[in-house]
């Protein structure tokens, strides 16, 4: 099973759904059409980003930020302070914001999604909280403190601190206890969590980042890594709960070993944007278990829109590769429609854009492909190629699938050995599901000399096998 995930920013979704409905809705009262659209496309998971209460300090900091104001001056001339809702990753309380319908509204939405076979994924931020989180007063010992006693701002060691956040101290047992209790509470309300910047709380990473500031005196030190303890605690109550790690710095295999079901595959993203076919082939040669636990995407809320970065033909080729290899396939809200303007996460609205019919059509065709048993349950293997070709196959008793992509701006040709079981000695028809064209071939040639292909720039074959 290689699930299909859809990410949507809760505040934007509710605002736009309300506008379409002509009345104010919340998560629990979203029109059926909004959910039916996701089910019709075949999504298994909905990552509902930004449902938690963000307090008042974070939005106030964002409203005073020069960069935010410049963005708004360009995107929304005449903007109002209320357009800035603050970062969803500066969380003041793990309760659904009242404007979204509160916890009751979320429960309604979850039940309606489950009826359609869609599991609900929510955010969990282990590294930091908002600066007005209730632990600031209830449990100040769980935070990192500056030498003057002030609570430190959360940070990634390679970037400036996030001034709207308070840094949690993962060297302390009490911090782990508070966070695990929070996770258990979240797990009662959803089917999985996307864990923000998961690698920041690994013991060695955290120690290297914060060794210059000692932990709160007289507090017991944590023993072992946070993630195994947290994951085990949740799965003791919810065995099927899904853990997704936002992860970088080549730490994805380590996080998978610690128990994560899926980890971001930023390496593939970078190679699709900046690399070539050889770099992509090298990446796809990794261990199959690692591949199956990787999350494949061509955009997310942290990256520019793929339609802005790549020309249409290359974007289509990148999407075909990303959606037809093992792992969780990830679609960002607006990607299907070919949106080009990335909306900063501290905004509660986005610029209106006209949908690109060719992008919609491409995604619909690929979603149809992803319903095939081969691409959901088949046996994956890369196929030997060279030059600008990227090729792989999925073998399944109910029909196999062969994918060959020319990942270059020039015409490419070559032979690809098709190593499918049982086709030697038989006449085989290869049906290209992208174009509808049939290619009758001799199975002995396919497994011997290989299939000869000639593809134009950024074009592909996605072929199903039909023995004749």
Same domain (yes/no): 280, 422 = no
pLDDT at 468: 44
Positive or negative torsion for Cα 322, 323, 327, 333 = positive
User: Which residue in 323, 343, 325 sits closest to 333, CA to CA?
Assistant: 343
Cα Rg of the chain (Å, integer): 24
Instruction: Provide the total of helices (H) and of strands (E) in the chain, helices listed first.
Output: 18, 20
The residues facing 438 across adjacent strands are: 431
Query: Which among 377, 395, 424 is the end of a domain?
Result: 377
DSSP-derived secondary structure letter, 176: H
The whole model's pTM is what? 0.95
User: Distance of alpha carbon 451 from its chain centroid, rounded?
Assistant: 34
Rounded-to-integer distance, Cα 391 and Cα 411, Å: 16
d(CA 433, CA 461): 8
Do 439 and 360 sit in the same domain of this protein? no
How would you class 163 by CB atoms within 10 Å of its CB: exposed for 0-12, middle for 13-18, buried for 19 or more? middle
User: Rounded to whole angstroms, how far apart are CA atoms 247 and 259?
Assistant: 13
What per-residue confidence (pLDDT) applies to 466? 59
Mean pLDDT, consecutive 10-residue segments, the chain of 468 residues? 95 94 95 96 97 92 83 80 89 96 98 98 98 97 96 94 96 98 98 98 97 94 96 98 97 97 97 94 93 96 95 96 97 97 86 94 96 93 93 92 96 92 88 91 90 95 75
Shared domain check, 384 and 372:
no
Residues 201 and 345 in one domain: yes
Same domain, yes or no, for 343 and 396? no
Instruction: Look at residues 346, 377, 408 and tell me which one is the last residue of a structural domain.
Output: 377
pLDDT for the residue 77: 81
Token couple for 139: 């449990």
Domain with 304 in it: what CATH number? 3.20.20.80
Indicate if 15 and 134 belong to the same structural domain: yes
> Is the domain of 197 the same as that of 336?
yes
In a shared domain, residues 143 and 60 = yes
Torsion of CA 259, 165, 90, 191, to 10 degrees: 10
Quick one: 322 and 445 in the same domain? no
Which helix or strand (DSSP H or E) is residue 464 part of?
strand 460-467
On whether both 338 and 406 belong to a single domain, the answer is no
Domain boundary residue among 310, 344, 377? 377
440: domain CATH number?
2.60.40.1180
Domain identity same for 149 and 217: yes
Tokens 């199959």 locate to: 288
pLDDT the model gives residue 347: 85
| Predicted pLDDT at 79 | 80
Q: How far apart are CA 301 and CA 232, in angstroms?
A: 29
Q: 342 near 296, Cβ under 8 Å?
A: no
Phi and psi at residue 113, to the nearest 5°: -65, -45
Helix (H) / strand (E) element for 120: namely: strand 119-124
Residue 414 is encoded by which pair of tokens?
Answer: 């070559």
Do residues 419 and 271 share a domain? no
Helix (H, G, I), strand (E, B) or coil at 159: coil
Instruction: Tell me which residue range forms the domain holding 94.
Output: 4-377
* Residue 183 contacts residue 192 (beta carbons within 8 Å): no
Q: What is the DSSP letter of 215?
A: P
Contact 244, 123 (CB under 8 A): no
The total number of structural domains that make up the chain: 2
Gap between the terminal Cα atoms of the chain: 29
């Amino acid at each position: 099973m290689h699930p299909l995930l859809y990410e949507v920013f809760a505040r934007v979704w509710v605002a736009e759904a309300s506008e379409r409905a002509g009345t104010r809705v919340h998560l629990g009262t979203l029109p059926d059409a909004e959910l039916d659209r996701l089910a019709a496309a075949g999504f298994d998971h909905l990552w509902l980003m930004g449902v938690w209460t963000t307090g008042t300090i974070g939005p106030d900091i964002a409203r005073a930020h020069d960069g935010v104001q410049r963005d708004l001056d360009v995107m929304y001339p005449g903007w109002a302070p209320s357009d800035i809702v603050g970062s969803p990753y500066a969380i003041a309380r793990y309760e659904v914001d009242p404007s979204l319908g509160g916890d009751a509204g979320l429960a309604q939405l979850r039940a309606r999604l489950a009826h359609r076979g869609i599991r609900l994924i929510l955010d969990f931020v282990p590294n930091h909280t908002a600066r007005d989180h209730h632990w600031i007063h209830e449990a100040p010992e769980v935070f990192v403190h500056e030498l003057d006693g002030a609570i430190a701002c959360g940070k990634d060691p390679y970037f400036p601190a996030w001034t709207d956040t308070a840094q949690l101290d993962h060297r302390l047992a009490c911090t782990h206890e508070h966070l695990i209790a929070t996770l258990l509470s979240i797990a009662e309300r959803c089917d999985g969590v996307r864990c923000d910047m998961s690698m920041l709380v690994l013991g060695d990473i955290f120690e290297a980042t914060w060794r210059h500031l000692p932990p709160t005196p007289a507090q017991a030190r944590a023993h072992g890594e946070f993630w195994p303890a947290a994951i085990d605690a949740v799965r003791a109550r919810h065995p099927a709960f899904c853990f997704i790690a936002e992860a970088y710095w080549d730490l994805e295999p380590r996080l998978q070993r610690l128990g994560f079901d899926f980890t971001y595959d930023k390496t593939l993203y970078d190679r699709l944007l900046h690399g070539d076919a050889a770099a992509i082939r090298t990446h796809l040669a990794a261990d199959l278990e690692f591949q199956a636990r990787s999350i494949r995407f061509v955009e997310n809320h942290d990256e520019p829109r793929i339609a802005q970065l790549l020309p249409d033909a290359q974007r289509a080729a990148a999407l075909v590769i990303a959606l037809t290899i093992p792992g969780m396939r990830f679609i960002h809200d607006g990607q299907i429609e070919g949106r080009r303007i990335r909306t900063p996460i501290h905004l509660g609205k986005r610029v209106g854009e006209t949908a690109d019919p060719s992008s919609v059509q491409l995604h619909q065709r690929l979603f149809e492909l992803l319903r095939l048993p081969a691409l959901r349950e088949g046996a994956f293997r890369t196929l030997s190629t060279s030059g600008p070709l990227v090729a792989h196959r999925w073998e399944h008793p109910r029909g196999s699938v062969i994918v060959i992509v020319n990942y270059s701006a020039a015409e490419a040709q070559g032979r690809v050995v098709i190593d499918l079981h049982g086709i030697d000695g038989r006449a085989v028809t290869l049906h290209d599901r992208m174009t509808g064209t049939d290619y009758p071939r001799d199975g002995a040639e396919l497994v011997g000399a290989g299939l000869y292909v000639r593809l134009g720039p950024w074009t592909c074959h996605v072929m199903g096998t039909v023995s004749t």
